[in-house]
């Protein structure tokens, strides 16, 4: 077997065997296949696609490329959640405490932000003292004692995906159904939970731009999860504007806290409750999604979710007083308002541009090793459908570097599309798959 034959076979529309997929994945992970040949094969897969059998095999080989986590020491049905990537998506910080407060254990690994999308690990690190790394025994013990723990991804989970994803990121080969679903599901299956709830983003600010493509991705991921014996449910959700109002690490943590206090933006509250309700249902604590939704709402309204967040922050070394005193986050020293120059309705807020704007203020990385400014970001004062007049403040950019702030503010200005008519309201949750 050789890699040139595998590349030409896929280039000409052939179906790869399990052995050929293994040869590629293992050879590339070990460094025996160079980047240029791996890139050629990924581009051939991008154009010729993979069928269901090839996609399942690719997922399985990547899952087996590193460690798999054993969560059997945790009692109960462990439920994981994953979002395909968004802007302003702080739902894990809201959903995990709500679900844990309803008795479903959460043992979760989260990622860092890259490019224009944020990551939960960076957000959690904006809490003074918070640790995102811990020994496996400590991680399991924390879930058994308080019902939840969230840590950074270890380097040993699906290393093949880590290497292939980094190459896809720079070769224009991310947006392919088989490559995305195998990438996400190899990590989720290796992470050891019993059930998985997927938030598949759809729209301008997502990898999948249309509801049809997002639905096909959700369906494939549900099939992969179910074939591995895990209950898997996918919610197809709107990403035609950022979620909530805050984009940037500590700004998003503050918004998550406000949401658990019952004062969050409507969209982030609705999506968090829907995800939490679904997780409570697949975690076996509710007999229907509707009952799960009601339990999540009760955990929010009674303040039990907020108390769980307090316990979680304290257990991972963070200062729980941040819940009552946001100045402890160390706010940004500089801010710049983004002002409307026209009258009308906000038609669109391009999520990707707001993500990039936030990255430029210092909240995101241009390279993996870059430090982030945890206080920087963009705060939206107007959302899609809001009426604006010339002179109104659309958003505020925060940061500690005037030059970066100006670049971020200019990018944020470009994100807003203002027109004469009120736009039609998009449903936040478009479809639920896998039930």
Annotation marks residue 131 as catalytic: no
Annotation marks residue 82 as catalytic: yes
Q: Alpha helix (H) ranges present in 228-343?
A: 249-260, 266-282, 289-301, 304-315
Q: Which two tokens stand for residue 372?
A: 């982030």
Secondary-structure percent of the chain, ordered helix, strand, coil, rounded to 5: 45, 15, 35
Q: Say how far apart CA 411 and CA 350 lie, in whole Å.
A: 10
Least separation in angstroms between CB 354 and ligand URA = 19
How many residues does this entry show for the chain? Answer: 435
DSSP state of 157: B
Q: Which is nearer to ligand URA, 322 or 351 (CB)?
A: 351
Q: Which is nearer to ligand URA, 165 or 329 (CB)?
A: 165
Q: Which two tokens stand for residue 430?
A: 């478009």
Which of residues 183, 245, 250, 278 is near ligand URA by CB under 6 A? 183
Q: Which is nearer to ligand URA, 175 or 314 (CB)?
A: 175
Q: Which residues make Cβ contacts (< 8 Å) with residue 235, sequence separation at least 6?
A: 197, 198, 199, 200, 218, 274, 275, 278, 429, 431, 432, 433
Least separation in angstroms between CB 7 and ligand URA = 20
Annotation marks residue 168 as catalytic: yes
Say which of 82, 163, 274, 382 is annotated catalytic. Answer: 82
H/E segment holding residue 200: strand 195-202
Burial 185-208 (b: 16+ CB within 10 A, else e): bbbbbbbbbbbbbbbbbbbbbbbb
203 interacts with ligand URA by CB under 6 A: no
Bridge partners of residue 247, in order along the sequence: 378
Say which of 90, 123, 187, 360 is annotated catalytic. Answer: 187
Q: Which is nearer to ligand URA, 178 or 311 (CB)?
A: 178
Say which of 63, 168, 310, 360 is annotated catalytic. Answer: 168
416 interacts with ligand URA by CB under 6 A: no
Integer Rg of the chain from CA: 21
237 interacts with ligand URA by CB under 6 A: no
CB 152 within 8 A of CB 121: yes
25 interacts with ligand URA by CB under 6 A: no
| Stretch 319-358: interaction string toward ligand URA, x if CB under 6 A | ----------------------------------------
Q: Which is nearer to ligand URA, 183 or 353 (CB)?
A: 183
Say which of 60, 80, 161, 373 is annotated catalytic. Answer: 161
Strands 393-399 and 377-380: antiparallel
Q: Which is nearer to ligand URA, 48 or 335 (CB)?
A: 48
184 interacts with ligand URA by CB under 6 A: yes
| Stretch 159-178: interaction string toward ligand URA, x if CB under 6 A | ------x--------x----
Bridge partners of residue 108, in order along the sequence: 150
Q: Which is nearer to ligand URA, 82 or 404 (CB)?
A: 82
What angle is formed at CA 244 by the lines to CA 96 and CA 413, rounded to 5 degrees? 145
Annotation marks residue 188 as catalytic: no
236 interacts with ligand URA by CB under 6 A: no
**Sign of the CA dihedral 282, 284, 288, 294?**
negative
Look at the block and give the residue holding tokens 């405490």.
97
Say which of 83, 183, 215, 353 is annotated catalytic. Answer: 183
Which of residues 27, 85, 408, 434 is near ligand URA by CB under 6 A? 85
84 interacts with ligand URA by CB under 6 A: yes
Q: Alpha helix (H) ranges present in 283-374?
A: 289-301, 304-315, 351-358
Q: Which is nearer to ligand URA, 159 or 284 (CB)?
A: 159
What is the separation, in whole angstroms, between the first and last Cα of the chain? 41
Annotation marks residue 161 as catalytic: yes
372 interacts with ligand URA by CB under 6 A: no
Which of residues 38, 180, 251, 418 is near ligand URA by CB under 6 A? 180
Q: Which stretch binds ligand URA (CB under 6 A): 179-187, 192-200, 226-234, 346-354?
A: 179-187
Q: Which two tokens stand for residue 324?
A: 């009552």
| Residues near ligand URA (CB under 6 A) | 84-85, 165, 174, 179-180, 183-184
Which residues are identified as catalytic? 82, 161, 168, 183, 187
């Amino acid at each position: 077997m050789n890699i040139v034959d595998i590349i030409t076979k896929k280039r000409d529309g052939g179906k790869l065997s399990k052995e050929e997929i293994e040869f590629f994945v293992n050879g590339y992970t070990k460094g025996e296949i160079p980047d240029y040949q791996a890139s050629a094969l990924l581009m051939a897969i991008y154009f010729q696609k993979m069928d269901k059998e090839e996609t399942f095999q690719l997922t399985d080989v990547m899952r087996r490329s590193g460690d798999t986590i054993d969560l059997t020491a945790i009692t109960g049905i462990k439920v994981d959640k994953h979002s395909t990537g968004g802007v302003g998506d702080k739902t894990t910080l809201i959903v995990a405490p709500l679900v844990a407060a309803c008795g479903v254990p959460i043992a979760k690994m989260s990622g860092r932000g890259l490019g224009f999308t944020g990551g939960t690990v960076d957000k959690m690190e904006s809490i003074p003292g918070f640790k995102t790394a811990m020994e496996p025994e400590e991680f399991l013990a924390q879930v058994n004692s308080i019902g939840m723990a969230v840590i950074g991804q270890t380097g040993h989970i699906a290393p093949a995906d880590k290497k292939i994803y980094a190459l896809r990121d720079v070769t224009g080969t991310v947006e392919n159904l088989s490559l995305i679903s195998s990438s996400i599901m190899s990590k989720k299956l290796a992470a050891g939970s019993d059930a998985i709830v997927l938030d598949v983003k759809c729209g301008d600010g997502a990898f999948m731009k249309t509801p049809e493509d997002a639905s096909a991705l959700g369906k494939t991921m549900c099939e992969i999860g179910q074939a591995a014996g895990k209950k898997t449910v996918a919610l197809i959700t709107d990403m035609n504007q950022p979620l909530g109002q805050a984009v940037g690490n500590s700004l998003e943590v503050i918004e998550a806290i406000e949401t658990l206090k019952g004062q969050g933006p409507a969209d982030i509250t609705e999506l968090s409750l829907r995800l939490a309700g679904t997780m409570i249902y697949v975690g076996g604590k509710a007999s229907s999604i509707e009952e799960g939704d009601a339990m999540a709402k009760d955990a929010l309204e009674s303040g039990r979710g907020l108390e769980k967040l307090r316990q979680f922050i304290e257990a991972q070394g963070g200062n729980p007083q941040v819940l009552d005193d946001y100045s402890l986050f160390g706010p940004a020293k500089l801010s710049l308002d983004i002002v409307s120059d026209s009258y009308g309705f906000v038609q669109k807020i391009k999520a990707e541009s707001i993500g990039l704007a936030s990255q430029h203020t210092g909240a995101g990385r241009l390279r993996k090793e870059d430090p982030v400014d945890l206080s920087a970001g963009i705060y939206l004062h107007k959302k899609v459908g809001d009426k604006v007049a010339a002179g109104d403040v659309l958003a505020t950019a925060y940061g500690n570097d005037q030059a970066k702030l100006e670049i971020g503010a200019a990018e944020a200005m470009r994100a807003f599309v203002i027109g004469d008519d009120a736009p039609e309201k998009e449903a936040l949750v478009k479809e639920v798959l896998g039930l």
